[in-house]
């Protein structure tokens, strides 16, 4: 099924602060990329992404994040060319939550935040979700994550939001 995912999201390129950024499906077994992105995030960034203190990426976390099938569980990696090859700057995940619905999440290394990586991943995730037949994408964002909330509202001005304690549920109709 992952091969079909490559058809939906063939590696694409976009301009981000004048340097090339590649977005491609994360393949099974690319645990090193998961770890690299996690290690590139501060404690605060990890908290904003995972909604809990995450001092390390456990084997169970790694297994869950890398369990991709190209349909119900999709992961995209954003990479920029570096001196020794492609370097991961962010990850995006799309996980089916019900009929026609999927949840999306994005994480970006601190050194690349504010350079369009998250926006690029969100756009690609939405395109992939639509191509896979999802009608609605949703995200759970901490109220303290004003950067992500602002980005989601800029990209999806018609998004429906609901505050649930310290979390904002963001729902976007894409189909």
What's the N-to-C CA distance of the chain in angstroms? 22
Predicted TM-score of the model (pTM): 0.89
Statement: residue 15 has pLDDT above 80? no
Tell me what pLDDT residue 175 has.
72
**Helix orientation angle between 59-66 and 31-39, rounded to the nearest 10 degrees:** 120
Query: Looking at the predicted structure, is the pLDDT value of residue 116 above 70?
Result: yes
Phi-psi region of 70 (alpha: psi -120 to 50; beta: other; left: phi over 0): left
Confidence of residue 123 (pLDDT cuts 50, 70, 90): very high
Rounded to 5, what percent of the chain is helix, strand, coil? 35, 35, 30
> Measuring CA to CA, how many Å separate 77 from each of 8, 36, 136, 157, 166?
14, 11, 22, 25, 28
The two structure tokens encoding residue 76: 């995209």
For the chain, percent of residues with pLDDT exceeding 90: 79
pLDDT at 2: 41
pLDDT at residue 19, rounded to an integer: 60
List pLDDT tens digits, range 80-97. 998 999 999 999 999 999
Task: Name the one residue in this structure whose structure tokens are 């979700």.
Answer: 129
Q: Does residue 6 carry a pLDDT above 60?
A: no
pLDDT at 11 exceeding the cut of 60 = no
Worst-scoring range by mean pLDDT, 16-25, 105-114, 128-137, 138-147?
Answer: 16-25
Q: Determine the pLDDT at residue 110.
A: 98
Provide mean pLDDT across the span 109-121: 96
For the chain, list the domains and their CATH numbers.
2-134 (3.40.630.30)
Looking at residue 3, its pLDDT comes to: 45
Contact of 159 with 170, CB cutoff 8 Å: yes
> Among residues 127, 28, 31, 139, which one has the least CA distance to residue 73?
28
Question: What's the mean pLDDT when you consider all of the chain?
Answer: 90
């Amino acid at each position: 099924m992952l091969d079909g995912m490559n058809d939906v999201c063939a590696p694409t390129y976009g301009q981000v602060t004048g340097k090339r950024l590649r977005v491609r499906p994360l393949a099974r077994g690319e645990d090193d990329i998961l770890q690299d992105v996690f290690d590139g995030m501060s404690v605060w960034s990890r908290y904003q992404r995972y909604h809990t203190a995450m001092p390390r990426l456990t084997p169970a976390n790694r297994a869950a994040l890398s369990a991709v099938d190209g349909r119900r569980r999709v992961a995209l990696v954003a990479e920029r060319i570096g001196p020794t090859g492609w370097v991961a700057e962010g990850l995006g995940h799309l996980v089916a939550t019900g009929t026609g619905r999927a949840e999306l999440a994005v994480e970006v290394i601190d050194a690349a935040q504010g350079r369009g990586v998250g926006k690029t991943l969100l756009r690609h995730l939405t395109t992939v979700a639509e191509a896979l037949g999802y009608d609605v994408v949703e995200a759970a964002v901490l109220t303290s994550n004003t950067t992500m909330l602002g980005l989601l509202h800029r990209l999806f001005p018609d998004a429906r939001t609901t505050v649930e304690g310290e979390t904002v549920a963001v729902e976007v109709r894409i189909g």
